[in-house]
A = this chain, B = another copy of it.
Amino acid sequence: MNAKELRAKIAKGEFVKPTAGYCEGFVQANMFVIPKKYAKSFEEFTKKNSKAMPLLEVVEDGYKTKVLADNANLLNELPLYNIIENGKVTKQVQSIEEYYDNDLVFFLIGCSFTFESSLLKAGIGLRHVEQNVNVSMYSTNIKLNPVGIWRGDMVVSMRPIAKERVADACVVTSHYPNMHGTPIQVGYPEMIGIKDINNPEYGDAVEIKKDEIPLFWPCGVTPQNALLDVKLPFAITHAPGHMFVSDRRDEEYYQ
């Protein structure tokens, strides 16, 4: 299934689950939607924190993509959306058509799912893909560089990696700086304020086997988590793990 086909299924409501492991080789992206008056400072915020929030595309006029796909509809081509009011998720929906007005700005941000095909090709297994669950994501004590009203803590995704492939996983992912690049932490969750590895704040818990080491990558859920601090009256995001699957190929972002 290519990305266009998956998005068509999603638009028809036939696919409502995390997108990791689907459309191998197609770039996936986080989405963050806010009213125009907050958009400029948010864009600056992504630039000051580009490892957590690598900006791939901004859609200001309307809701159709230009860069990541030709005319994809951001209102119903993601599997699941969070409606966030005053920092709290008040609803999860499969379409945001009823919330749209032309004051909204759409930010599309790089996602670590993009480099997962490269990890798999290198023979590095991915537990959440094997088990067909959502990747584990955690809030950390890593402070973002604040800009205007914007501040907060970095969210990370975790993948357990076989002990002898840890360095390889760092090298493979280093080639995707626009998809978070290298891990931000290797092996020691407590060093970044993660108290219970079995209780991720977002996504599902996965087993870490005896001969595996947990690696942590910055995650595009970071701006969503920032809303807990910033408490905008209204915002829309993708539901964690339920990404925008684009028509761009991984190799276009390989560096």
Residues of B within 8 A of A164 (CB): 184-185
Structural contact, B167 and A187, CB atoms closer than 8 A: no
Which of B174, B184, B186, B191 contacts A186, CB < 8 Å? B186
Closest beta carbon of chain B to A156's beta carbon, Å: 12
**Contact residue range for chain A?**
10 to 19
Structural contact, A167 and B191, CB atoms closer than 8 A: no
Minimal Cβ-Cβ distance residue in B for A161: B186
Residues of B within 8 A of A174 (CB): 167, 171
Minimal Cβ-Cβ distance residue in B for A175: B171
Residues of B within 8 A of A187 (CB): 166, 186-188, 213
Residues of B within 8 A of A186 (CB): 163, 166-167, 186-187, 213
Structural contact, B171 and A191, CB atoms closer than 8 A: no
Closest beta carbon of chain B to A122's beta carbon, Å: 12
Q: How far is the CA of A191 from the CA of B173 in the complex (A)?
A: 24
Structural contact, B188 and A167, CB atoms closer than 8 A: no
Minimal Cβ-Cβ distance residue in B for A210: B191
Closest beta carbon of chain B to A73's beta carbon, Å: 36
Q: How far is the CA of A173 from the CA of B183 in the complex (A)?
A: 16
The answer to whether the Cβ of A170 comes within 8 Å of any Cβ in the partner chain is: yes
Minimal Cβ-Cβ distance residue in B for A215: B167
Q: How far is the CA of A187 from the CA of B168 in the complex (A)?
A: 14
Residues of B within 8 A of A19 (CB): none
Closest beta carbon of chain B to A189's beta carbon, Å: 11
- Give a binary string over A153-195; 1 marks a CB under 8 Å from any B CB, 0 the rest: 0000000000110111011011000000011111110010000
Which of B163, B173, B182, B188 contacts A213, CB < 8 Å? B188
The answer to whether the Cβ of A211 comes within 8 Å of any Cβ in the partner chain is: yes
Chain A interface residues (CB < 8 Å from chain B): 163-164, 166-168, 170-171, 173-174, 182-188, 191, 211, 213
Task: Beyond A166-B185, A167-B184, A188-B213, list 8 extra A-B contacts (CB 8 Å).
Answer: A164-B185, A167-B182, A167-B186, A170-B171, A171-B171, A171-B174, A171-B182, A191-B211
